[in-house]
Chains A and B, each alone.
Chain A
Amino acid sequence: MKSDEYTYIENLLERFFEGETSNVEEQELYAFFARPDLPEHLKPYKPVFGYFETGIAREVEEENSSKQVRKVPFYKKWLWIGTAVAASLLLFLFLNKEDRKQEDDFNPYAGSYIIRNGVKTEIPENVAKDLDKMIRQAEKSHYEKERMALQPVQQHRQTLHDIKMKEQEAKQIESDIEMLEERYKDK
């Protein structure tokens, strides 16, 4: 019995070092080498398999943390913060449900959402004030663009109007002169 079991393991062992084992088979090897009672001829392999099982992952993690190259892209951070904020806000809302029943249940911003990196997050009611501000700012910027664009047109109109006024003034002066000339002609 025992020798059979070892034959199976030895077979796995050989295939392991040939790169032929599957992840599942490797788990079997790790489990075997974690046993306290190993036969003499297999004992030396214990630390090696300990390394394969967890040592490599540990080294990679140490390498990563010491490098500090993993910069979380800003938008990802925002999503995390946004989700955390949303989650804590929702919790707050839930806990304060009783109080809220007093007020009007209507949320004018229902259905509003943000998307970061293809991931949709509904905006909770409590951020309503900010949403209102955002709407106003968008409207303001659109309005100002239209207004600024109209400016040259308005100026043009104003100029035309001024010209017209001047022309009328000029006409008035001419007719005044004519009138005076008439008067002095008679003399």
Chain B
Amino acid sequence: MEQEQFKIEVVPLRGKLSGCARRLLDDPEDVEDIVQEVFLKLWYIREELERYDSVEALAVQITKHLCLNRLRSFQYRQEKLSDSAIITADDNPYVSLEQKDSVSHVMSIMEQLPGLQQTILRMKHVDGFEVKEIAELTGSTPEAVRVNLSRARKRVKELFLKM
């Protein structure tokens, strides 16, 4: 499935996916981030898409999954802020993951970024897409993509300067 086909067949799903994300997340900025991430994920598996009976169903599934992950990480962040000890919530995989991280330093720079930022960096620096093109593939405004690219790059800079 090439770019044009992707834009014609997949990008129009945006309305449905935003609707789905909005039901689970309050912050419109989070909704936009999730939707961008879903489209970029779909873009990277575009060759497999023809195997699915319904790309729409798949996209909705991914959206829900990412929203739930985001909610869980919210909980985690809240707990951290509220100054209670980092109690391992049994069903929160992010806690143990972050703990491991601070101890082992094995993770690559990229892996320390949230999924969306990782993917945007990949689109820009590995696949060579311009911001405008990424926006077209996700049905976003270039501004919305720029915001996430900026965040990603700033985060990378932080991680490097910390080292």
Q: Which residues of A contact B (CB under 8 A)?
A: 16-20, 22-23, 44-45, 47-48, 51-53, 55-57, 59-60
Contacts and interface: CB of A to CB of B under 8 A. Distances in A.
The 10 closest A-B pairs by CB, nearest first: A19-B149, A19-B150, A19-B146, A56-B125, A48-B160, A57-B126, A59-B108, A18-B150, A17-B153, A60-B126
B157 A56 contact: no
Interface of B: 108-110, 121-122, 125-126, 128, 130-131, 145-150, 153-154, 156-157, 160-161
B47 to A, nearest CB: 8
Given A19-B147, A22-B130, A48-B160, A56 B121 contact: yes
Nearest to A57: B126
A19 B156 CA distance: 13
A60 B160 contact: no
A51 B122 contact: no
A131 to B, nearest CB: 31
Contacts, number: 47
A110 to B, nearest CB: 34
Contacts of A17: 150, 153-154, 157
A19 B108 CA distance: 22
A23 B123 CA distance: 12
Contacts of B150: 17-19
A118 to B, nearest CB: 12
B109 A59 contact: yes
A116 to B, nearest CB: 15
Nearest to A48: B160
Contacts of B128: 23
Contacts of B122: 56, 60
Contacts of A44: 161
Contact of A19 (B109, B131, B157): B131
Nearest to A56: B125
A19 B126 contact: no
A17 B149 CA distance: 8
22 contacts: A16-B153, A17-B153, A17-B154, A17-B157, A18-B150, A19-B146, A19-B150, A22-B130, A23-B128, A23-B130, A45-B157, A48-B156, A48-B160, A48-B161, A51-B109, A51-B160, A52-B153, A52-B156, A55-B109, A56-B110, A59-B108, A60-B126
